[in-house]
Structure 1
Amino acid sequence: MELRILRYFLAVAQEKNITRAAEKLLVSQPTLSKQLSDFEKELGTKLFIRGHRQITLTSEGVYLKSKAEEIISLADKTSLNIKNDQIISGDLTIGAGESIGMKRIIDIMGNINQDYPDVKIHLISGMADEMETLLNQGNLDFAVFMGERDLNEYNYLQMPETDEWGLIMRKDSLLADNDFISPKDLLGKPLLISAQEISKSRFKNWWGNLGSKMNIMGTFTLVFNAELLVENGNAYMMSFNHLIDKTHQDKLTFRPLNPPMIEPITVVWKKNTVLSKVAQLFVKRLQASLHNEDL
């Protein structure tokens, strides 16, 4: 399976037309058609449904498209990172969830880009399980975990920042008069909770024997979208502090939990792997920022 053929396949999948794809790739239409036909024979399956006006993907084609995009992205990134051994260039890719702890990391990434304009920085947002998968696949240089996780398979740096769990609600809510939110305060309240935290039963111990009485109306992955529902007055949201978007600050407020729930923030990268020069620079500058914090 050659990278060139995968690029041909992706071009046709994106254009949905052999002629347009051939023009984009600067190859002849017959050549492209034959290459793709040979590719299907090599794989022993049909990748395309060739219609009168456009081409669509079979289920096997859809699967290959997702994998081909990952393969091509990793190949391009690797090539870019080793092209020039004399200067710092290439891509720096970090995956993380939403957290106040990202400010330090983003500041370092921004400073690296300012000092080395050839460096391209990429931020990928998602839940910790997704970020760990991408890291292990080689699609991330670093992942940022919020909360306790098994770190035995990784190199890591612990951030001084922490995340504090609490409740986001409308400012005119009765619970907004509380300094803290206890489990009994949430009885009967429609709650939105991160899909990841639901799957890991993150609040099981905090709720105690009241857990079965909680009204969990739904889950979310993006805080901003969930805040729209809270602002609408239809829900309360369990979330980290400092994540209320500026567009919602006039209507929403945060109250910490009691007993408190505090999460560590950790930057991790794969063991037994050679970091690119820009990734090494990121680690060096992150370590320096933590050292300065201790002084």
Structure 2
Amino acid sequence: MKDHVTVGVDGSPESRAAARWAAHEAVLRHVPLRLVHAVDWPLDPVFPGLGRQDVDRWADAALTDVTQELHQRHPPLEITTRCLAARPTAALAAEASDAALLVLGSRGLGGPARFIVGSVAMSTLVATATPVALVRDTDDPDGLGINISEVVVGVDIHASCDRVLAFAFEEAARRSCSLRAVHSWKMPPAYMYVPFFDPDNERDISRSVTHMVEDVLLPWRHKFPHVDVSHRVFMGSAGDHLVRASQGAGLVVVGRHLRRSPLGRHLGPIAHAVLHHAAAPVAVVAHE
């Protein structure tokens, strides 16, 4: 049974924020927290003159500092640590295999670019089927500025997204907050060549899509009757609408398909847009 939350720690401000968020999540789930630090050894020539003992001491100090801080915030929380000599992406993906959730830090920015998603985080995202949460260095779950009144989830009506919806409903239930489901649709390409477009067609399609979203959500409403659920259907870019919906949310949940391209595993355009521009932590859930 996957009964713990894992977080990558490297001593950076964003990884500390991720550790705080992960600890808060572990408390909500009533499960232990595992801190993982990975060093790709040897470091030369990037850090010439730095010995293995120096690296080990620095890693131990980073894990100890974070552990002490989290124990002060959450005294009952069970925390374990692991320091691995391996490539961070491979180590984090392996550690995620028996975890319920992997949490990674990502540098936050002001303005329209809210996230800087590093290569390790991006590579780890596509290397594991475990849900992964990306947290900015400004996302402090214990801070007064964090709004947990709403979880936002992107809904796909064209493929099974049960894992995504299960994750989103469970998160809303844990936080005792509302859930907002968002779906965007686009007009068929053929309508670009229609000289006189009837607006009634757009309204009919919107109503039809709305009914389909309601059908997708219905069994989950029954399973989580205490979660207050709303849904919005938009015409246009799904990524853009999810980014707008992230304003004021406590968490955004998006899916990614478990599939390979000739160039290897990758994130779809919607998840990619949300990861880089959302104004809240983002959880990416792999699904068929």
Give the TM-score, by structure 2 length. Answer: 0.24
More helix by share: 1
Larger Cα-atom Rg: 1
TM-score, with structure 1 as normaliser: 0.23
